[in-house]
Structure 1
Amino acid sequence: MTVTYTNRVADARLGTFSQLLLQWKGSIYKLLYSEFLIFISLYFTISLVYRLILNESQRLMFEKLALYCNSYAELIPVSFVLGFYVALVVSRWWAQYESIPWPDRIMSLVSCNVDGQDEYGRLLRRTLMRYSNLCSVLILRSVSTAVYKRFPSMEHVVR
């Protein structure tokens, strides 16, 4: 379930983002605390076994095993994996950018398809663009905090 904090971010002050990070509903800590606790418990268990239970020959064997695992971890360079990740993020961002309905694209389509140099054609083109801008404002109010600040209610949209 997604928890939105748009109203809290719209009037952000000093420390608001750190407060949002620490809120429990939908927090990153809520998502990761169980995995973190498992990791910490396994880490301390292995550390205690290594320090208190294993003798010198077993410690040497454990260190060799750790070095062997580390040699395989370095076969896939991090920059290579990071490059794929960045390419994926940029492609998703570009797809979102491309899906934004820009008014100039819509206006060129309207002006090409609505004929007439008379008053009726001009009023029809203007009305279609007003409807297009109204649709954009209504959609962007739910996404952008800047648009939500400019148009907090439907009365502000009408004015």
Structure 2
Amino acid sequence: MTVTYSRRVADAGLGTFFNLLLRWKGSIYKLLYRELIIFTFLYYFFSVVYRFVLNDDQKRLFEKLSLYCDRYAELIPVSFVLGFYVTLVVSRWWGQFENVPWPDRLAALVGGHVRGADDASRLTRRTLMRYANLSGVLIYRSVSTAVYKRFPTMEHLVQAGLMTSEELRHLEDLPSPHNKFWVPCMWFVSLALRARTEGHINNDVALTAILTVGVE
């Protein structure tokens, strides 16, 4: 996942940008240092061979080969290909960012439409959000190393309060060779429908809004 330095630059001052350039974790240096080492080695290797190994005829042949490669390299529209590539990468990244299931909007809908100040209503609101967060964590565990290290086993989800031992037993008893992130979504839908039946949600429009955002 992306390494962010937002807290490092929240109170930016003199020298902050220079300090960010010197960071190693998540830096461009860490990403490209192997390629840079290989490129530098090959550059000095050919430079030494050209200056100290080749004779005059071989040097002229090498220069002609270099000019030939440089001339035909201009036939490849590098700028166009690079621009197309960057556009494609940024579009994919933005699409992934827009599809991240942020819980804020859902929490606002649940808090506004699941009425009641009694313990049952509060428990319903908390359980709905817990199911939504549980589904997200189950997805992140399969794609993010950081989340998987935080929750290496399903028992850690129970310890974190994202699910109960009884829910874990039901989840493990369900035969499925694939990721079971959809199971908390079904629990979410069932609980929302029960809240509508019991009158905690006043109308079907509110129920539809909660289900639409929750399942997304």
Normalised by the length of structure 1, the TM-score is: 0.52
1:102-113 aligned at under 5 Å gives the runs: none
| Inter-partner Cα distance in structure 2 for 1:44 and 1:82 | 30
The structural deviation recorded for 1:25 is 3.3
The structural deviation recorded for 1:65 is 1.6
Which of 3-12 and 54-63 deviates more? 3-12
Query: Number of residues paired by the alignment?
Result: 123
Which residue of 1 is the match for residue 66 of structure 2? 66
| Inter-partner Cα distance in structure 2 for 1:23 and 1:32 | 14
RMSD: 4.2
Q: Is the 8 A contact 1:21 1:28 kept in 2?
A: no
| Inter-partner Cα distance in structure 1 for 2:27 and 2:93 | 24
The answer to whether structure 1 residue 18 and structure 2 residue 3 are counterparts is no
| Inter-partner Cα distance in structure 2 for 1:34 and 1:87 | 25
Which residue of 1 is the match for residue 146 of structure 2? none
More helix by share: 1
Distance 1:35 1:71, change over 3 A: same
| Inter-partner Cα distance in structure 1 for 2:89 and 2:3 | 25
Aligned-partner residue type, residue 8 of structure 1 = R
Distance 1:18 1:47, change over 3 A: same
Which residue of 2 is the match for residue 77 of structure 1? 77
1:1-159 aligned at under 5 Å gives the runs: 3-78=3-78, 79-97=80-98
| Inter-partner Cα distance in structure 2 for 1:3 and 1:98 | 19
The structural deviation recorded for 1:57 is 0.9
The structural deviation recorded for 1:95 is 4.7
The structural deviation recorded for 1:3 is 4.8
Aligned-partner residue type, residue 55 of structure 1 = N
Aligned-partner residue type, residue 84 of structure 2 = G
The structural deviation recorded for 1:92 is 2.8
Distance 1:24 1:98, change over 3 A: closer
Which residue of 2 is the match for residue 139 of structure 1? none
The structural deviation recorded for 1:21 is 1.9
The structural deviation recorded for 1:60 is 1.3
The structural deviation recorded for 1:64 is 1.9
Matched residues, percent identical? 49
Name the SS of the counterpart of 1:10 in structure 2.
Answer: coil
Q: Deviations over 1:58-104 (max 9, x none)?
A: 0111112222322442232022342232233134324524657695x
**Structure 1: runs of 5 or more not aligned:** 136-159
